Amino acid sequence: MKLPIIRLTLCAMLFAFCSSAEAQQPKKVFRIGYLSTVERTRDSARAEAIRLALRELGYLEGQNIATEYRYAEGKIDRYPELSAELVRLKVDLIVAAGGSELIRAAKNATKTIPIVMTGIGADPVAAGLIESLARPGGNVTGITNVSDELSGKQLELLKEAVPKLAHVAVLYDPASPGNVLRVKEVLPAAARELGLTVRSWDVRGTDGFEKVFAGLRKERPDGLYLSPSPLMNANENGPLGLR
Which CATH superfamily does the domain covering 3-144 fall into? Response regulator (3.40.50.2300)
**Residue partners of 124: CB distance under 8 A and separation at least 6:** 100, 103, 117, 130, 133, 136, 140, 144, 146
Banded pLDDT at 83 (limits 50, 70, 90): very high
Q: For the chain, what is the mean pLDDT?
A: 83
Q: Report how far residue 121's alpha carbon sits from residue 227's, in angstroms, rounded to the nearest whole number.
A: 9
At residue 19, the pLDDT reads 55
What are the residue ranges spanned by the domains of the chain? 3-144, 148-234
The DSSP symbol for 183 reads I
Banded pLDDT at 9 (limits 50, 70, 90): low
Which CATH superfamily does the domain covering 148-234 fall into? Response regulator (3.40.50.2300)
At residue 88, the pLDDT reads 97
Fold match flag (3-144 vs 148-234):
yes
State which of 121-130, 149-158, 162-171 shows the largest mean pLDDT: 162-171
At residue 5, the pLDDT reads 44
Banded pLDDT at 179 (limits 50, 70, 90): confident
Positive/negative CA dihedral, 72, 110, 28, 46: positive
